[in-house]
């Protein structure tokens, strides 16, 4: 190979191939994060059945996540504060994620694990909408139609004619949490690789711990774990959430916001399986149909974005 060959610019095909590999890696990481979050949700459900209020569960997760996030920053040599120019975005990401988490945890405590997860995972609809505003991604008629069907399918999942008041409030909380979580995901995409994934974990942990730490004494009645099983559930809650959060942040950095969030729909599958096997929550046929419609619509939106970006 001569000197002129070494000085040639990178081949466009090799750059595209590398980008595709990064995107594929992002999808794999997102899929792995789905299991971590589903297991985390199962821990939330188990702790709620033990009598722990939702905000205390949020606080416990946040403390453990912050501790592990700081250790991760130390290991990778990343500043926990992040780049000065990105700190306002990091605060927004942490606040949105913390609020979304609190809403979802409340929903899990008053609804079945599968129903709360399905409603919460309308997030890709809002993610696509926010991505069109913040990242300039397309949001055309196909996305609007799929979003409408997806949101209408929530009626099948929740069955408002039969639910109790608490479950109805849980469904609203899960939907609001989906919006807030979608905003957080798009902020991660906005800052891109300028911020290490561990820094996102730290900001999320700090803001979530601060907010839930105050509110759990104002609006709920927290208590200490009393037996070994409860302590193990708290530890597992933090561990699964940390793994899921790290994989999620890294996956979002590697893959486009719309298609990447599709992999999180695996949470729905895991939630149905865990709800049935661990808590005996047998879903209604209408709930299953609603879940299928929501997953199908979000997948269709992602595939549409994927093919549109490939053709561009």
121-165: pLDDT as tens digits? 888 788 888 888 888 887 888 888 888 898 888 888 886 665 567
59-71 residue pLDDT tens: 999 998 899 889 9
221-276 residue pLDDT tens: 889 998 999 999 999 998 898 888 778 777 877 776 556 656 767 788 889 989 99
Q: Which stretch of DSSP H or E encloses residue 67?
A: helix 54-76
Mean of the pLDDT values across residues 180-192?
88
Is residue 11 scored above 70 in pLDDT? no
User: What's the predicted TM-score (pTM) here?
Assistant: 0.83
Residues in contact with 229: Cβ distance below 8 Å, sequence separation at least 6, in sequence order: 50
Whether the Cβ atoms of residue 114 and residue 272 lie closer than 8 Å to each other: yes
Alpha-helix runs per DSSP H in 160-284 = 165-191, 197-219, 228-254, 257-262, 266-279
Distance, CA of 255 to CA of 251 (rounded, Å)? 6
Is residue 19 scored above 80 in pLDDT? no
Distance from the Cα of residue 8 to its chain's centroid: 42
SS3 state at 237: helix
**How much is the pLDDT for 243?**
86
**How much is the pLDDT for 160?**
62
**How much is the pLDDT for 1?**
47
Encode burial over 27-53: b for 16+ CB neighbours within 10 A, e otherwise: bebbbbbbbbbbbbbbbbbbbbeeebb
Angstrom CA distances, 99 to 169, 187, 271, stand at 16, 14, 21
Distance, CA of 105 to CA of 308 (rounded, Å)? 35
């Amino acid at each position: 190979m001569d000197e002129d060959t070494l000085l040639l610019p990178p081949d466009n095909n090799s750059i595209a191939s590398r980008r595709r590999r990064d995107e594929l890696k992002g999808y794999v990481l997102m899929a792995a994060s789905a299991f971590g979050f589903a297991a985390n949700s199962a821990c939330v459900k188990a702790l709620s059945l033990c009598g722990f209020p939702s905000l205390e569960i949020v606080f416990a997760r946040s403390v453990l996540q912050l501790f592990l996030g700081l250790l991760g920053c130390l290991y990778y040599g990343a500043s926990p504060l992040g780049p000065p120019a990105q700190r306002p975005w990091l605060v927004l990401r942490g606040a949105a994620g913390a609020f979304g988490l609190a809403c979802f945890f409340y929903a899990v405590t008053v609804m079945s694990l599968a129903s709360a997860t399905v409603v919460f995972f309308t997030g890709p609809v809002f993610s696509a909408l926010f991505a069109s505003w913040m990242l300039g991604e397309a949001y055309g008629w196909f996305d609007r139609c799929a979003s409408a069907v997806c949101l209408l399918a929530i009626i099948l999942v929740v069955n408002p004619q039969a639910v109790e008041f608490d479950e109805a409030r849980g469904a609203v909380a899960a939907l609001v949490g989906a919006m807030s979580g979608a905003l957080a995901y798009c902020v991660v995409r906005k800052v891109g690789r300028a911020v290490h994934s561990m820094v996102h974990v730290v900001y999320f942990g700090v803001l979530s711990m601060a907010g839930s730490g105050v509110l759990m004494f104002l609006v709920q009645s927290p208590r200490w774990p009393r037996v070994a099983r409860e302590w193990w559930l708290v530890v597992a809650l933090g561990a699964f959430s940390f793994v899921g959060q790290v994989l999620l942040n890294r996956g979002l950095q590697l893959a486009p916001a719309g298609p990447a969030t599709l992999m999180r729909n695996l949470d729905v599958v895991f939630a149905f399986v865990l709800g049935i096997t661990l808590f005996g929550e047998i879903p209604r046929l209408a709930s299953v149909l609603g879940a299928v419609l929501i997953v199908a619509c979000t997948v269709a939106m992602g595939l549409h974005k994927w093919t549109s970006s490939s053709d561009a």
